[in-house]
Structures are given as C-alpha cells and as structure tokens.
Amino acid sequence: MTHQAPNIVLIMADQLAPQFTGAYGHPLVKTPHMDALAARGRRMDTAYCNAPLCAPSRFSFMSGQFVTRIAAYDNASEFPAAVPTFAHYLRQMGYRTCLSGKMHFVGPDQLHGFEERVTTDIYPADYAWTPDWELADERIDKWYHNMDSVREAGVAATTFQIEYDEEVAFFAKRKIFDYAREQSGPFCLVASFIHPHDPYVARREWWDLYDASDVDMPAHVLERAGQDPFSQRLMDGIEASAVSVSDEEVRNARHAYYANTSYFDSKVGELVATLEEAGQLDNTVVIVTSDHGDMLGERGLWYKMNFFEHSARVPLIMAGPGVVPGTSANACSLVDILPTMLDIGAAGGGEKPLLGQPIDGRSLWPLVTGGRDDGDEAIGEYCAEMAGHPVFMIRRGRFKYIHCDADPPMLFDLEADPEERVNLAGDAAHCDTAAAFAAEVSERWDSETIRRDVILTQKQRRAVHSAMQAGTLTSWDYDPPRDASQEYVRNHMDWTVAAAKTRFPPLKR
C-alpha cells in the first residue's frame, strides 16, 4: 500500500557558519526556530560544502556532483542545462517543484528542473565575475571582496539584501498555501535566502538582540606573516593584509552577522508556521542548510574561499516524518542532499528514476531515520578567485587534509585541534597519514589537467562576456512571469469566487 510521499521544504542560508548559531551551541546567537527543528529532528554536526563559494557550491548541491565533474569552477561558471538536478528527478517522481530565492544560476537556463521560480535572483547570471588564473595575483576590483563590509558594518532600515529576503519569504509562503489549496501531490519547495552574507548590515530589531559588549571576538587570529601561503593570498585578495580594521569594526561585523543570523532564523520560523497553518507540517521534511560558512575574522580571514572549518562547514538539520531525533557526527556534505531527497520521495512507495549521470553523494536518509551510515567523508574542491591552482580537501574521520600544487600540504586532527592551529603534514608522528592522503589526492585528481581546463573556460567566458557588452544586451537574469490581469480581483471575475478560491482553510459549504 502506498501513501503520498512527504513534501520537502529546503531552507537555505547564504554564508552561514554553524559555529555561529545557537542550534550548534553558540552561547550568544539566538536561533530559536533552528533550535526547535534540531530538537525534533536530526542535526548533522560535521556537514561540509563541496566548494566554499556560492555558485559552485549550489551547482554541486543541486546536481549531487563535485564541481570538477561539471566544470562549476567559480561564480561565473555556467551550470549546464544538461546536468540533471534533484528538481529534475523529483519531478519524475511526481513532485511539484518550486524555487523561491537565490541559486546563482549562471547561463540562459534559469530553472534547472524547477517547474516554477517565483522570484528573480539576487546576483547576475552572466560571465562578468570570471577570474583570471593567468594573472592570479591581481585583484579584480569591480567584484572581488574587500574589507569595506567589515569597516562599514552596522544598522540600516533596509538594504537590497533585506528587500530580497522579504520577497523570498513572501512568495515561498504564498506557494505553500497554493500547494495546500491545490492538493495536487507532494511538493518540493526551496526557499533560498541571502542572509547572513555580507555586507554585515542589520535592521535595528535584530541588532538590538545583542549587546555589543557580549559579542565575542575571533578566537585565533594570525598576522599575514604567520599564515600559510594560500591564506596569505586570500588576505591579499580581500585586502586584509593592506587594510587594517579596528577591534570595534571587527566586533560590529560579528554583531551584525549574529543579528542577520537571527533574521534568517526568523524566516525559518515563518515558513514552518506557514506549513502548520496550511496543514502540511506533519507530512513535510524540513531541511535547513547553507551554501558555505564565513570565517568572520577567525585566523584573520573573512568571508569564505578556503577549507578551514568556519568557511567549509555548513549547518544541516532535518526534521519531519520518519526522522529520528538526535545528532550525527559522521562527515557528510551537500552532494548528499540529492540522494537523500530521492529516498524521501521513495518513502511514499514511489519508484526512483534512473540517474542521468553518476552522483558523488550518499543518501543520509537511512541515518536520519534511525539506521546506520558507514560513510564518514566529505570532499571539497576550490577552483576560483585568489587561487592559481585547484585546492582539494578530504575530511575523513578525525582528519582533514588540504592540498594545492602551489602550496605545502596541510593536515589537521580536528578532534585534538578543533581550531586548526597545528599543521601535522610535516610531523613525524603523522607521516604515514599525510602520505596516504597525498597518494589519494594524486589518484583522485589530475590537478594540472583541471587547472588547464579552468584557464580554458575562463578565456572562453571572458571572450563571450566581452562580446555581450557590445550592441543590444539580451539578459539571462530571470524575470518571474506575472500577469496582473489575472491577479487578485478583476472585472472578468466574480469577486466572491476569487475570495473563496484564495481563502484557506476553505469555507465548508
């Protein structure tokens, strides 16, 4: 006997490090709605992104594939329309699929399997943000991060990010009620917000949740001379090695980030409340995650673009029918979401579709529903700005190994050294572990071939982008379809019918 498969509502933050949430134990940051989901669901304590940058991470998350397999190298890499995503597969399983919010799709396909998209994106869809690995040490001032976000942190009544997230929440909540009225089978709704991504600017009501004197400062700060070579390039790229920031500016940035984390958490609460009002909560698996984290001054670094814990780890909380409450320490990553969703879809007795491409993730559904998960691995790849060679990460068990052809390797024992203060790659007691990881990197990746392909695609995209600036521009930016003549009440409608149609719960007649 089959029953309707659970709905899926995935709520995604941007640049949210789990270390800076109450749900993951931060003593100050208030995240009551994430806390509540974790209390009745499963909190994954060792979840990673597969690329610590927005677009590559999201393309990997949607496809279940590592970024080097689909050439999703940077924030201006095209996401090929021929790459199947979880939205494609869930549609084959009878799901209605909708995206509200950011996914930073680059290229003319702005749906990638979603049946509907109810907002535009917040970032451009073209090739403008293409790095240049042949001039890897040169800043591209127009779009590279700098320290302005830290120096200008504070309070504002509104920002483009606040306006965007209000729109994302509104249309997501409206869509939940639409699905409840239609009763047309299970749905998968992705609501993807921009907060707490920099600029670190918050509305007063969220800022005032925190007293500045309570805001903790970074636990471990390194000057440029004490950094590893890749971190030195990051500091140079974001101008942290040239532009000094005061303790007050650092505290303000962290204060605003905490405030915006609470703001994002409030949106989680709004969506969960809407599911409850729509009578859908009991049959909906709610997943909360992020595309990557934020260093927020730890190690003297900001933003993301590296594989240290605050940049590479993400929150991952799942709650809903079948989920056994608890926490899990197994290393996992965003590529695991696609196979997990397919297992959720199959929970109603449906048949999984044939995969259009091999996937790199494993399903977490057996683990979160009370079974075993023998997997304990996360793989990361970074091929974007401020690098000239690919950077690879392997997290397995207690160890994390980071490799780049241009730099000395790094090995950390995260159980003994959670702040990653001691690089064990040259330690005699760990030489066998480091050698085994080095051999695995060599076997898993052809770094030089990847580098050549990155540079090739960069040249292609710069040429296309340059041409698109000449003559008439045809924008790839998504323009949500709306027909005002069919909205609310119009003269060709009976207003009483319109009122009854949109009222929920419906009147019993």
Active-site residues, by number, are 54, 104
Strand partners, 378: 395
Cα torsion 189, 194, 196, 200 to 10°: value is -170
Paired tokens of 380: 């990361």
Selection from 239, 92, 180 nearest residue 501 by Cα: 180
**How far apart are alpha carbons 22 and 28 in whole angstroms?**
7
Q: What is the DSSP letter of 324?
A: P
**How far apart are alpha carbons 302 and 469 in whole angstroms?**
32
Burial 393-416 (b: 16+ CB within 10 A, else e): bbbeeebbbbbbeebebbbbbbee
Torsion over CA: 233, 238, 241, 246 (sign):
negative
Beta strands at 316-319 and 42-44: parallel, antiparallel or unpaired = antiparallel
Strand partners, 191: 11, 100
For residue 10, the SS3 value is strand
**How far apart are alpha carbons 334 and 46 in whole angstroms?**
11
Paired tokens of 201: 């600017």
Q: Is 175 exposed, middle or buried (0-12, 13-18, 19+ CB in 10 A)?
A: buried
φ/ψ of residue 267, rounded to 5 = -70, -35
CB-based contacts of 51: which residues, under 8 Å, 6+ apart?
Answer: 57, 60, 67, 72, 292, 380, 381, 382, 383, 384
**How far apart are alpha carbons 445 and 453 in whole angstroms?**
13
Residue 105: Cβ within 10 Å count? 26
Beta strands at 399-404 and 391-396: parallel, antiparallel or unpaired = antiparallel
For residue 349, the SS3 value is coil
**For the chain, how far is it from start to end, CA to CA, in angstroms?**
32
CB-based contacts of 340: which residues, under 8 Å, 6+ apart?
Answer: 318, 361, 363, 364, 365, 368
